[in-house]
A and B are shown apart, each in its own frame.
Chain A
């Protein structure tokens, strides 16, 4: 069983056991436009919740990807370095950024669920 939650910075986190997979939402990918470069965290790096963990650049601008949960980076989607367009093609699937071994499951529970995030991204 996996559960996906969302941040107000437009990252998604899919939790399976204590392993969290992180990416940017479809909403964010559409806002960014064509992604041309992704910088990923090194395996083994300890990240705190809310800390800058990756960088995503579109033709237009550079944006930070923040760690939605704290823990140790266990893997990164190296395919994005050669094929950054995967972020636009499948942002919430093949376009994932990195994986974290969670240090505190409580952080995950604080994030928005799909319904709350859909509401959050509605135009005012």
Chain B
């Protein structure tokens, strides 16, 4: 008998997760904490009330050198116009103009290179794709050895200020090279929970010490992937591979804000004519927020019904601890996409009453 086991990669914080009593699960090829002993519900609520520390070291970090504006060939974002010290959200597109991934990119003060962060499950593919497409113009150096921590929540700034003097002056989507607990770091005021907070990129070798330093603070609890998912869902943020993938374009995914103003005029991104046509005249389907009326959550894959037929599918769904009820996102035919439209969700063969709802389900508290 042959037993083949997937060899899971570990982040530099693996030993710490084990020590903290995390429940570890395979995620994007890594062994990652889905929850700690506090449990998903408490971890979620703690992040919204105080501060939560997330290990997101599995995400793909790298630096793009050379003609960095050439990245505009692959994304709708305004790369050339990004000012020093700023971070921006981008969509990486396939040749067909569908979403290959979403990513963050930063221009650090006084540095020519762009700092990129892509999704864990896509990182090898993304970096190969970018390298190949920008061959001769720009060079991408993966830094999968680096660690990435996210400190999120209303008390994140006061906690981080103790270990990184002046960091609380940074505002939303700004980024700086600084130190945290003496370790060299790239810190941005951003995250994926809807809360104020920071993402902290450090050398792998410093990660354990920095994480322990932050966890000693009374405001901070370690938070697993389970709460990360419920936090981002309440915040109306897409999870790649669920709420968007290579089957949808930026207009269908309702991410048109990620198309730079200048890019709309100049185009020059994949399938620009198709995307601009949809932007002006609308797409056949659209990503929307969905609020079930009862208490029963509708999960990913649930069919969405209206007028007696299937008009879409739930792509993320569950219980929102801060919304104190079920919340979901999904794609519907555009004629049903207006806020308040009554729909039914098919759960265990029964139609659950629901309505299209404005996103986010829980207000963002970014420090602008």
Interfacial chain A residues near B230, Cβ < 8 Å: 59
- Asked if B297 and A60 make an inter-chain contact with CB atoms under 8 angstroms apart, the answer reads no
Q: Mark B25-47, 1 if CB is under 8 A from A, else 0.
A: 00000000011000111101000
Q: Which residues of B are found within 8 Å of A59, using beta-carbon distances?
A: 40-41, 44, 226, 230, 318-319, 321
Bitwise, B282-316 to A at CB < 8 A (1) or not (0) is 00000000000001110100000000000000000
Within 8 A of A (CB), among B90-138: none
Query: Does A36 lie within 8 Å of B297, measured CB to CB?
Result: yes
- Nearest CB of A to B351, in Å: 14
Which residues does chain A contribute within 8 Å of B39, judged by CB atoms?
33-34
Residue B281 CB within 8 A of the other chain: no
A57 to B296, CA, bound (A): 8
Query: Assuming the A-B contacts A34-B41, A37-B319, are A62 and B226 also in contact, with contact meaning beta carbons closer than 8 angstroms in the complex?
Result: no
B222 to chain A, nearest CB (A): 16
Q: Which residues of A contact B348 (CB under 8 A)?
A: 55
A57: B residues at CB distance < 8 A: 296-297, 319
Contacting residue for B295 out of A33, A34, A62, A81, CB 8 A: A81
- Cβ of A52 to closest chain B Cβ, rounded Å: 8
Question: Do residues B226 and A37 form an inter-chain contact, with CB atoms below 8 A?
Answer: no
Report A32 CB to chain B, min CB distance, Å: 10
What string of 1s and 0s marks CB contacts (under 8 Å) between A41-73 and chain B?
000000000000001011111100000000000
Kindly provide the distance from the CB of A92 to the nearest chain B CB, expressed in whole angstroms.
19
Range of interface residues on A (Cβ < 8 Å): 10 to 19
Residues A62 and B35 in contact in the complex (CB < 8 Å), given A33-B40, A37-B319, A55-B348? no
* A60-B299 in contact given A36-B319, A37-B319, A37-B326 (Cβ < 8 Å): no
Tell me the minimal C-beta distance from B286 to chain A in angstroms.
26
Complex interface residues of chain A between 89 and 115 (CB less than 8 A to chain B): none
Closest residue of B by beta carbon distance from A88: B39
A37, B297: Cβ atoms closer than 8 Å: yes
Contact-residue bracket for chain B: 10 to 19
Least CB distance from A54 to B in Å reads: 11
What's the Cα separation between A81 and B226 when bound, in Å? 23
B299 and A37 contacting across the interface, CB-CB below 8 Å: no
Please report the C-alpha to C-alpha distance between residue A37 and residue B226 in the assembled complex, in whole angstroms.
Answer: 17
- For A33, the chain B residues whose CB sits under 8 A away are 35, 39-41, 226
CB-contact partner of A37 in B35, B41, B296, B321, under 8 A: B296
Let me know if A37 and B295 touch, CB within 8 A. Answer: yes
Distance of A115 from chain B, by nearest CB (Å) = 27
Chain A residues within an 8 Å CB radius of B326: 37
Mark each residue of chain B from 324 to 351: 1 if its CB lies under 8 Å from any CB of chain A, else 0. Answer: 0010000000000000000000001000
Closest chain B CB from A85 CB (angstroms): 8
Q: How far is the CB of B233 from chain A (nearest CB, A)?
A: 11
**In the bound complex, how far is the Cα of B39 from the Cα of A33, in angstroms?**
7
Chain B residues closer than 8 Å to A37, beta-carbon distance: 295-297, 319, 326
Q: A34 CA to B42 CA in the complex, in Å?
A: 9
Give bound CA distance, A60 to B348, whole Å. 17
**Distance between Cα atoms of A5 and B170 in the complex (Å):** 59
Tell whether, in the assembled complex, residue B296 and residue A60 are in contact, meaning their CB atoms are under 8 Å apart: no
**Closest beta carbon of chain A to B34's beta carbon, Å:** 8
**Most chain B CB atoms below 10 A, which of A55, A57, A59:** A59
Q: Is the CB of B318 within 8 A of A39?
A: no
A59 and B324 alpha carbons, distance in the complex (Å): 11
Q: Which residues of A contact B (CB under 8 A)?
A: 33-34, 36-37, 39, 55, 57-62, 81
Pairs across A and B, CB under 8 Å, 30 listed: A33-B35, A33-B39, A33-B40, A33-B41, A33-B226, A34-B40, A34-B42, A36-B41, A36-B321, A37-B296, A37-B319, A37-B326, A39-B296, A55-B348, A57-B296, A57-B297, A57-B319, A58-B40, A59-B40, A59-B44, A59-B226, A59-B230, A59-B319, A59-B321, A60-B34, A60-B318, A61-B299, A62-B297, A62-B299, A81-B295
Q: Which 9 A-B pairs have the closest CB atoms?
A: A34-B41, A36-B319, A59-B40, A34-B39, A37-B295, A59-B319, A33-B39, A37-B296, A57-B297
| A36-B297, A55-B348, A60-B318 given; 8 more Cβ-contact pairs under 8 Å | A34-B41, A37-B295, A37-B296, A59-B226, A59-B319, A60-B40, A62-B297, A62-B299
